[in-house]
């Protein structure tokens, strides 16, 4: 009887102190690691940056050597392509053995995947690396949509412009100044062609300035609000395109092309969603040492970008191990290294090393509701896409 009482007492103490729960969590993670060994994770992610591609190659080598997990980077131009594929698999009742194991997403695509029940989880708080994440960042929402543990934060994005301080000492500090500059110096400014991510971000940031960040932008879009609020946007673009690079008849394909055009002297401002991209471009010889990144006076359109796992992943254990590694101090410190990628980290700085500890960030401007993105892209293509 005394033994029984003693055992119950020990168990009660373990529960009260959290030791039992911690042991259970450790056992759970050990099982996931065992299941992950030998799995191949097909990771759908944007492939338009050599720096990012090289970083993922490094991560793949580390995952293979440390965990026996093979990471295959499936390079996509727009993650919406992957969303379409997953919707088709859902419609065909392919609930196991899916072709996608992990995705790099945010905003509109996250909401679409969540609404269509295409996501595995919640899983984030089961990751051992979760303890390192900076919980003061807005990791609980993605473009105003609650994440609910269905995606893990990976990095911080901010819309910035890059200029050569030797040829453009005092760059435009607002979109109003940008239009004046374009009219004074025709053929020297542009932006990526929507629906490319950076091009659409340019539109959203411009709309926020023109509407003084109207509260309606935080709500699901409706036709009447859209027509009223976007009228100044199209008026602005009609003027801007007349004096833009190539007369607004052609647009750069993405951030990499704007950086190339800046380096070639064809345009005076490149665009990026990484405030530290200028450093990695300088390190690889793509930009002069005199180039600098800056945000507009009102701040930089900002968001967290995330990693998620489809509901029918063929390697959900491997994907969890991969995401956990990508959130580790080792991987986040390398990702934040200004000579590697320079992507601002989602970890508390105390866990970071090297230049990742001090990556540059600007004053933040929040994203509109994700429904505005599709509406803006559709209208832009209708007006300027042909």
Residue 3 confidence class, pLDDT cut points 50, 70, 90:
very low
d(CA 328, CA 354): 14
pLDDT at 85 over 90: yes
Among candidate residues 10, 6, 29, the one with its CA nearest the CA of residue 20: 10
256 burial (CB, 10 Å; 0-12 / 13-18 / 19+) is buried
pLDDT at 22 over 70: no
Q: Tens digits of per-residue pLDDT, 86-109?
A: 999 999 999 999 999 999 998 889
Under CATH, domain 160-302+367-384 is a member of which superfamily?
Periplasmic binding protein-like II (3.40.190.10)
pLDDT at 348 over 70: yes
d(CA 219, CA 222): 9
What is the predicted pLDDT for the residue at 361?
77
β-partners of residue 103 are 44, 308
Among candidate residues 147, 113, 77, the one with its CA nearest the CA of residue 312: 113
Please, which residues have CB within 8 angstroms of residue 15's CB and are 6 or more apart in sequence? Answer: 21
What is the predicted pLDDT for the residue at 115?
92
Q: Tens digits of per-residue pLDDT, 186-219?
A: 999 999 999 998 999 999 999 999 999 999 998 9
The residue with tokens 């194991």 is 101
Helical H segments across the chain, by residue range? 2-17, 19-36, 50-67, 80-91, 108-115, 175-184, 197-210, 223-243, 255-263, 277-283, 316-326, 329-336, 371-384
What is the predicted pLDDT for the residue at 274?
87
The most distant pair of C-alpha atoms in the chain lies apart, rounded to whole Å, by: 92
Please count the residues of the chain. 386
pLDDT-above-90 percentage for the chain? 74
pLDDT-above-70 percentage for the chain? 93
**Separation of CA 292 from chain center:** 22
Judged by average pLDDT, the poorest of 63-67, 138-142, 146-150 is 138-142
Average pLDDT of every residue of the chain: 91
What pTM was computed for the model? 0.78
CB 319 within 8 A of CB 336: no
d(CA 316, CA 312): 8
Handedness of CA 118, 129, 281, 165 (dihedral sign): positive
Residue extents of the structural domains in the chain: 2-155+305-359, 160-302+367-384
Residue 12 confidence class, pLDDT cut points 50, 70, 90:
very low
d(CA 214, CA 383): 23
d(CA 288, CA 161): 15
What is the predicted pLDDT for the residue at 23?
56
Among candidate residues 70, 104, 136, the one with its CA nearest the CA of residue 335: 104
CB 300 within 8 A of CB 160: yes
d(CA 126, CA 29): 8
Fold agreement (2-155+305-359, 160-302+367-384): yes
Residue 24 confidence class, pLDDT cut points 50, 70, 90:
low
For residues 35-69, one letter each, b for 16 or more C-beta atoms within 10 angstroms of the residue's C-beta and e for the rest, the string is: ebeebebbbbbbebbebbeebbeebbebbeeebeb
Residue 34 confidence class, pLDDT cut points 50, 70, 90:
very high
Fold of 2-155+305-359: D-Maltodextrin-Binding Protein; domain 2 (3.40.190)
Q: Tens digits of per-residue pLDDT, 263-322?
A: 999 999 999 998 888 888 888 889 999 999 999 999 999 889 999 999 999 999 999 999
For the beta carbon of residue 72, count every other beta carbon within 10 angstroms. 14
Which bin fits 146, alpha (ψ -120 to 50), beta or left (φ > 0)?
Answer: beta
CB 264 within 8 A of CB 328: no
d(CA 253, CA 199): 9
Q: Tens digits of per-residue pLDDT, 225-279?
A: 999 999 999 999 999 999 999 999 999 999 999 999 999 999 999 999 988 888 8
């Amino acid at each position: 009887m005394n033994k029984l009482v003693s055992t119950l007492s020990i168990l009660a103490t373990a529960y009260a102190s959290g030791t039992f729960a911690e042991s259970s969590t450790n056992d759970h993670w050990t099982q996931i690691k065992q299941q992950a060994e030998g799995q191949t994770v097909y990771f759908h992610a944007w492939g338009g940056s050599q720096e990012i591609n090289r970083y993922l190659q490094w991560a793949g080598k580390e995952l293979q050597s440390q965990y026996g997990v093979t990471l295959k980077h499936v390079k996509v131009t727009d993650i919406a392509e992957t969303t379409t594929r997953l919707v088709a698999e859902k419609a065909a009742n392919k609930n196991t053995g899916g072709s996608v194991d992990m995705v790099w997403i945010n905003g509109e695509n996250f909401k679409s995947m969540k609404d269509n029940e295409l996501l595995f989880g919640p899983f984030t708080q089961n990751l051992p690396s979760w303890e390192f994440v900076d919980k003061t960042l807005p990791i609980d929402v993605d473009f105003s949509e609650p994440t609910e543990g269905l995606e893990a934060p990976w990095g911080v994005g901010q819309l910035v412009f890059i200029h050569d301080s030797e040829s453009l000492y005092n760059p435009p500090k607002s979109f109003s100044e940008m239009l004046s500059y374009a009219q004074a110096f025709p053929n020297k400014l542009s932006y990526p062609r929507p629906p490319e991510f950076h091009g659409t971000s340019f539109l959203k940031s411009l709309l926020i300035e023109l509407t003084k960040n109207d509260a309606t932008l935080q709500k699901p879009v409706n036709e009447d609000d859209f027509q009223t609020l976007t009228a100044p946007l199209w008026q602005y673009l009609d003027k801007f395109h007349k004096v833009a690079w190539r007369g607004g008849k052609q647009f750069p394909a993405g951030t990499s092309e704007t950086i190339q055009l800046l380096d070639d002297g064809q345009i005076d401002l490149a665009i990026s969603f990484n405030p530290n991209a200028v450093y990695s471009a300088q390190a690889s010889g793509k930009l002069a040492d005199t180039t600098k990144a800056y945000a507009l006076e009102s701040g930089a359109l900002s968001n967290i970008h995330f990693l998620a796992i489809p509901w029918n992943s063929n390697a959900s254990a491997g994907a969890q191990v991969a995401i956990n590694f990508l959130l580790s101090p080792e991987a986040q410190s390398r990702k934040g290294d200004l000579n590697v990628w320079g992507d601002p980290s989602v970890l508390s700085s105390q866990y970071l090393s090297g230049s990742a500890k001090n990556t540059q960030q600007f004053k933040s401007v929040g994203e509109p509701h994700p429904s505005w993105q599709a509406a803006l892209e559709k209208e832009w293509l209708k007006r300027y896409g042909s």
